[in-house]
Amino acid sequence: MPILDREERMSTDERTALQTARLRGMVDRLLAAGGVQARRLRESGVDSGDAVTLADLPRLPTTSKADLWDHYPLGMLAVDRADVTVVHGSSGTSGRPTLVAYTRNDIAVWARVMARSLVGAGATRSSIVHNAYGYGLFTGGLGVHQGAQELGATVVPMSGGMTSRQIRMLLDLRPDVLTCTPSYAVHLGETLAAAGVEREEISLRVGIHGAEPWTDAMRDRIEDLLPIRALDIYGLSEVIGPGVACETPDSGGGLHVQEDHFLTETLDPATGEPVPAGRAGELTFTTVTKEALPLLRYRTGDLAVLDRSPAPDGRTNVRMSRVVGRVDDMLVIRGVNVYPSEVESVLLADPGIGPHYQLVVDSRGGSPRLIVACEARPPDDGSPAARTGAALRERLGLRCEVRVLPAGTVPRTEVGKAVRVVRWAGGEAPLPGLDP
Ligand code: DLL
């Protein structure tokens, strides 16, 4: 399988030299820009990028979403406002928007890392990319779009929603690459099946799915519904958008991080210290080539494991595992820590349960309980609730209530990110059929 750029297969020495030079340049740019990051650098004793090495990284100051909020909307720019060509953002799970800015060169870097992801997935100039990530402030739609154009592929800018029109385009244009959230891939697959379209009639060969957490169990479900290899892509607006890291069919089960642009660390969320190799930590990126909004050691809140061993596909950059959870996503139910992804793995391992689910944290009675709302998958053998309840108890050490609801009850997300956790503090049930 081809590799787009030499930077993806550099030797450690070559990459270290490139990263060091870029880190020094970034530190100088931040100091010259004179904002909050410059102040923190000076406070930590750094007055110039000159002598900084990669080994110094753990001692440099960090940034977080709170900094972007404190300087909302665009107070952390490191360039003249006139050099900003595009603004993107995300609404975030808390509903509080974060805005990010790009120069012309930032957009070129983004298009390139996204093109690397597409090539890694097997796309070529002849590919037709059906892009069902949302277009707009969200980075998914336009990010993938620019990457496909950089590659010279044909992109179909579907955006999210209007599923019947998507089906029509899938059948008429015969794309080989599908880009959308994993939950929307399921929805498309089910809609195609419901329309009586046979697997053999579907032209898609690979799917590039991200923007929300998903599991290997969900991958199996997507690959059952569609004749594709379903690959994971990771990214976030603050760092650049989709294309920070992407899986390839033979990356050996990890996502290659484009670490010539994004220096990657995993930190203990509690202490901020680097975690030992092989342990999950908070992904932290330093955007060494970004111009408009360079972020030093940006703490993402996403938890993953890094692997620096050589990958079977010949790429030498670091691999991250799937995101296993978020620092702020962990539910604490009667003293037990639960990550939604862990529930997804157990739930979807049961062939009798469909891929749509929501975790309802019911705190009406004081001490919260976890209700797992899901749907049966045909042929319904009548026992998935009891089986899955037992499996969840075994895996999480927590008794949860599994409610198998009628097909179609769990809301489908056609636009944006799937909502997996809902709170029930009082009043009406968040889903029909939960009241006993
Ligand atoms: O979701 C960028 C993106 C678009 C990535 C399309 C992949 C595909 P934001 O809206 O800023 O950017 O949200 C970023 O989404 O911090 C993670 O918590 C989550 N996330 C993104 N990709 C994955 C993934 C885009 N593959 C936030 N697995 C991140 C799990 C993901 N979580």
pLDDT, average across residues 264-279: 96
Which pLDDT band holds residue 71 (cuts at 50, 70, 90)?
Answer: very high
Mutating to test ligand 1, I would choose from 212, 222, 232 the residue with most ligand atoms within 8 A of its C-beta, which is 212
Q: Does residue 188 line the site of ligand 1, with CB under 6 A?
A: no
Which pLDDT band holds residue 383 (cuts at 50, 70, 90)?
Answer: confident
pTM as predicted: 0.97
Report pLDDT digits (tens) over 19-52.
999 999 999 999 999 999 999 999 999 999 998 9
Whether pLDDT at 243 is above 70 = yes
235 CA closest ligand 1 atom index: 5
pLDDT, average across residues 122-133: 98
Mean pLDDT score across all residues of the chain = 96
Whether pLDDT at 436 is above 80 = no
> 228: CA distance to ligand 1 center in Å?
21
pLDDT of residue 1: 82
Rounded to an integer, what distance in angstroms lies between the CA atom of residue 143 and that of residue 258?
A: 15
Rounded to an integer, what distance in angstroms lies between the CA atom of residue 363 and that of residue 424?
A: 6
| DSSP-derived 3-state class of residue 49 | coil
Rounded to an integer, what distance in angstroms lies between the CA atom of residue 163 and that of residue 287?
A: 36
Domain-wise residue ranges, the chain:
1-329, 331-424
Give the start-end residues of each E strand in 268-390: 281-287, 298-304, 306-307, 319-320, 325-326, 331-333, 336-338, 353-362, 369-376
Rounded to an integer, what distance in angstroms lies between the CA atom of residue 151 and that of residue 123?
A: 9
Whether pLDDT at 289 is above 80 = yes
Mutating to test ligand 1, I would choose from 181, 302, 327 the residue with most ligand atoms within 8 A of its C-beta, which is 302
% pLDDT > 70, the chain = 99
Whether pLDDT at 99 is above 70 = yes
Among residues 410, 395, 425, the alpha carbon closest in space to that of 217 is found at 395
Report DSSP letters for 124-176, one per residue. Answer: -TT-EEEE-SPPSSSHHHHHHHHHHHHHT-EEEE--S--HHHHHHHHHHH--S
Residue 60 near residue 34 (C-beta atoms within 8 A): no
* Cα–chain center distance at 301: 12
Q: Does residue 326 line the site of ligand 1, with CB under 6 A?
A: yes
Q: Does residue 210 line the site of ligand 1, with CB under 6 A?
A: yes
CATH topology of domain 1-329: Rossmann fold (3.40.50)
Residue 327 near residue 314 (C-beta atoms within 8 A): no
Rounded to an integer, what distance in angstroms lies between the CA atom of residue 316 and that of residue 5?
A: 12
% pLDDT > 90, the chain = 93
Contacts (Cβ under 8 Å, ≥6 apart) of 52: 20, 23, 24, 27, 46, 60
CATH topology of domain 331-424: GMP Synthetase; Chain A, domain 3 (3.30.300)
Q: Does residue 282 line the site of ligand 1, with CB under 6 A?
A: no
> 63: CA distance to ligand 1 center in Å?
18
Taking the CB of residue 312, how many other CB atoms lie within 10 A of it?
A: 11
Q: Does residue 246 line the site of ligand 1, with CB under 6 A?
A: no
Q: Does residue 139 line the site of ligand 1, with CB under 6 A?
A: yes
Q: Does residue 233 line the site of ligand 1, with CB under 6 A?
A: yes
> 383: CA distance to ligand 1 center in Å?
35
What the block records as the tokens of 275 is 């975690």
> 179: CA distance to ligand 1 center in Å?
13
> 303: CA distance to ligand 1 center in Å?
12
Instruction: Return the DSSP state at 300.
Output: E
Q: Does residue 234 line the site of ligand 1, with CB under 6 A?
A: yes
Rounded to an integer, what distance in angstroms lies between the CA atom of residue 288 and that of residue 25?
A: 8
Name which of 61-70, 89-98, 229-238, 408-417 the model is least confident about: 89-98
Phi and psi angles of residue 74, each rounded to the nearest 5 degrees, phi first: -135, 40
Whether pLDDT at 94 is above 80 = no
> 243: CA distance to ligand 1 center in Å?
10
Taking the CB of residue 427, how many other CB atoms lie within 10 A of it?
A: 7
Domain pair 1-329 / 331-424, same fold: no
Contacts (Cβ under 8 Å, ≥6 apart) of 284: 62, 264, 265, 266, 267, 297, 298, 299, 300
pLDDT of residue 91: 79
Residue 285 Cα distances to 63, 113, 199, 360, angstroms: 10, 15, 40, 32
> 131: CA distance to ligand 1 center in Å?
16
pLDDT of residue 93: 62
Residue 363 Cα distances to 142, 339, 349, angstroms: 40, 17, 27
Q: Does residue 416 line the site of ligand 1, with CB under 6 A?
A: no
pLDDT of residue 96: 81
- CA torsion 193-195-200-202 (nearest 10°) is -90
Residue 413 near residue 419 (C-beta atoms within 8 A): yes
pLDDT of residue 381: 76
Q: How many CA atoms lie within 13 A of 75 on its CB side?
A: 12
> 409: CA distance to ligand 1 center in Å?
26
| DSSP-derived 3-state class of residue 423 | strand
Rounded to an integer, what distance in angstroms lies between the CA atom of residue 107 and that of residue 165?
A: 30
Any bridge partners for residue 206, and if so which?
Answer: 177, 229
Whether pLDDT at 380 is above 90 = no
